[in-house]
Structure 1
Amino acid sequence: MVQFVHPATQDITLAGVLSALADPTRLKIVKGLIGQQDCMSCTAAAPCPDMAKSTLSNHFRVLRESGLIHTTKQGVEHRNAVRDADIEARFPGLLKSILEHAKDD
């Protein structure tokens, strides 16, 4: 069984969140995931459909280990959701502000 590393809310760091979101691809992934009713699979959330799966997997790993997303496995798919409540609890207004200011990117 696949075990994913998800930091506890209190272990999410500002440096980790900002570092993860500094990459344009990861920022696009989070933008694609935010506000989704259902968790999205890695391939559905990917901003670059031609990206190598290993590269995409690395982006999701960085987002997961920074505390920005939560990943579960359903069958052969990895399903992802933004941990917006955890980020909001840890850093109120941060994610909303970043996403609002990154609209043009």
Structure 2
Amino acid sequence: MRTLEHPDRNSISLDGVLFALSDPTRRKIVRQLADGPPAQYCSQFALPISLSTQTHHFRVLREAGVIEQRYQGTAIVAALRSEDLTTRVPGLLEAILAAERAENPPN
């Protein structure tokens, strides 16, 4: 079975999370994960970028410990690592999501 590499909880760093969340596309991914079902197929994200660029953004988020990804058949499912982020960088995810929602209200 294919697996994807993820940092363990203790390896998640403030710098890595801040870098991952500094990009508007990655914040959009995180917001969709936070506002929707807990696990979502990566192919369901309607992003105005190429698939290779989308894959890059998911990888940056995964390697920073912001999201978890796993194979489900041939598809990849993503989920927010909320508990791990709250443990390592308390309040950051909530603050980022609040700012993102204020800056980009739903249509």
TM value normalised by structure 2: 0.88
Indicate how the Cα distance of structure 1 residues 46 and 26 shifts in structure 2: closer, same or farther if over 3 A, else same. farther
Give, in angstroms, the shift of residue 37 of structure 1. Answer: 3.1
Q: CA deviation at 1:42?
A: 1.0
Partner of 2:63, secondary structure, is helix
Equivalent in the alignment of 1:2: 2
SS at match of 1:102: helix
Residue 96 in structure 1 maps to residue 103 in structure 2: no
2:95 aligned partner, one-letter code:
S
Shift of 1:72: 0.6
Confirm whether residue 41 of structure 1 aligns to residue 37 of structure 2.
no
Separation in structure 1 between the aligned mates of residue 38 and residue 97 of structure 2, nearest angstrom: 20
Instruction: Please show how residues 17-96 of structure 1 align to structure 2 within 5 Å.
Output: 17-48=17-48, 51-96=49-94
Q: How much identity, in percent, do the aligned residues show?
A: 42
Q: Which runs of 5+ in 1 are unaligned?
A: none
Distance in 1 between residues matched to 2:79 and 2:36, nearest whole Å: 8
List alignment gaps of at least 5 residues for structure 2.
none
- Count of residue correspondences: 103
User: Runs of 4 or more off by more than 2 Å in structure 1?
Assistant: 35-38, 45-48
| Aligned-residue CA RMSD (Å) | 1.3
Distance in 1 (CA, whole Å) between partners of 2:43 and 2:14 is 27
> What CA distance in whole angstroms lies between the structure 2 residues aligned with 1:73 and 1:46?
20
